[in-house]
Amino acid sequence: MRRREFITLLGGAIALPLAVRAQEPAKLPIIGLLGSSTALIESQRVAAFVQRLHQLGWIENRNVVIEYRWAEGRQERFAEIAAEFVQLKVDLIVAPTTPAVMAAKQATSLIPIVIATADDPVGTGLVASLARPGGNVTGLSNQISDTSPKRLELLREVVPGLRRLAILFNVGNPGAVLDIREFEAAVRMFGLEALTFEIRRAEDIAPGFEALKGRADALYVGADPLVNTNRVRINTLALAARLPTMHGTRDYVEAGGLMSYGPNIPDQYRRAADYVDKILRGAKPGDLPVEQPTKFDLIINLTTAKALGLTLSPSLLARADELIE
């Protein structure tokens, strides 16, 4: 082979891989979505998140990839999923609750983390301040604990003879513990008696209801992934015990709870997509202020009210954002 032909052939061999590499598509950014409960339970929230991303120009599997993982209300799964996301080298993690965000923060100090909804991120140590979060975490606070007194007022309106109030919450969730502290303070302010009902796992729920028999006039349920995953069971047991229930979010009332007052969670997820958009376009999470809810909804389940023999005032019904039948 002549020297000129050899050089031409060699040049082609070198150029070919470069041309192939030039044609390879750029790596799509990856969002790791750490679901606290199940895909079914969180479907409406996730749909709102994905829809808003679409509006902002991020189309799933076209210019962004979303890796979904579901903890199914099991606390130990948060750390496992967070570690998996770090291994996958995701560009950003969306975590919806205090325990999920804590697990993600412990797994990485580099990957940006967006809070979809968590109670008092300053009080639980997730961020330094609402105005300047610092670090790799930002997003939305749900202010559940701030609205605890309002939920108690509504419950007293529905159960006029309320004297003894049972409180169910996951003691392993720092956000739920903060909510319960605020709620207990409101209970004391109104001169009521509180019976706390602590759980750490699903197996604690039935024995707790057994212990409550005949001892309470109503039940306050602290929002939490474990509780949410078992919400149908909790509401069924509460109805059997003739206990009107108050919750912090709508999905509990859809599952047979009496009423809820709190932030509109799909709206929180929708707004979380704005944070994702800004971070994927170069913003630093520590520079993005944590935002608070703008919409609070009162939801009442009329079927449950009827089953409990409760008479709801026209005034209360007029104030409800939604009546479920």
Share of the chain above pLDDT 90, in %: 72
Mean pLDDT, range 240-265, rounded to an integer: 94
Q: Is residue 126 part of a domain?
A: yes
Position 132 pLDDT exceeds 50: yes
Mean pLDDT, range 37-52, rounded to an integer: 94
Question: 137-141, 144-148, 173-177, 232-236: lowest mean pLDDT where?
Answer: 144-148
Task: State whether 217 and 153 are in the same domain.
Answer: yes
Q: Is residue 79 part of a domain?
A: yes
Task: State whether 170 and 256 are in the same domain.
Answer: yes
Share of the chain above pLDDT 70, in %: 92
pLDDT digits (tens, 9 = 90+) for 72-82: 988 889 999 99
Distance of CA 110 to the CA centre of its chain: 22
Q: Is residue 309 part of a domain?
A: yes
Task: State whether 197 and 107 are in the same domain.
Answer: no
278 vs 91: CA distance, rounded Å: 13
Task: State whether 218 and 291 are in the same domain.
Answer: no
Q: Is residue 11 part of a domain?
A: no
Task: State whether 200 and 312 are in the same domain.
Answer: yes
Position 124 pLDDT exceeds 80: yes
pLDDT digits (tens, 9 = 90+) for 11-31: 444 444 444 444 445 789 999
Task: State whether 60 and 194 are in the same domain.
Answer: no
Angle, helices 148-158/174-189, rounded to nearest 10 degrees: 50
Position 34 pLDDT exceeds 90: yes
Q: Is residue 24 part of a domain?
A: no
DSSP letter (8 states) at residue 290: P
pLDDT at 17: 45
Mean pLDDT of the chain: 90
Mean pLDDT, range 126-151, rounded to an integer: 91
Is the C-alpha dihedral spanning 270, 245, 202, 176 positive or negative?
Answer: positive
Q: Is residue 4 part of a domain?
A: no
Task: State whether 129 and 161 are in the same domain.
Answer: no
Domain that holds residue 160: 145-263+297-324
Task: State whether 190 and 175 are in the same domain.
Answer: yes
Give the chain's domain count.
2
Contact 304, 258 (CB under 8 A): yes
What is the strand order of the sheet 193-199 is part of?
193-199, 164-170, 218-221, 245-247, 259-263, 296-301, 322-324
pLDDT at 319: 96
pLDDT at 25: 57
Tokens representing residue 167 in the block: 């409180």
Question: 19-33, 89-103, 146-160, 273-287: lowest mean pLDDT where?
Answer: 19-33
pTM given for the model: 0.83
Q: Is 87 exposed, middle or buried (0-12, 13-18, 19+ CB in 10 A)?
A: exposed
Q: What share of the chain is helix, strand, coil (3-state, %, to 5)?
A: 45, 20, 35
Task: State whether 101 and 235 are in the same domain.
Answer: no
| CATH code where residue 303 lies | 3.40.50.2300
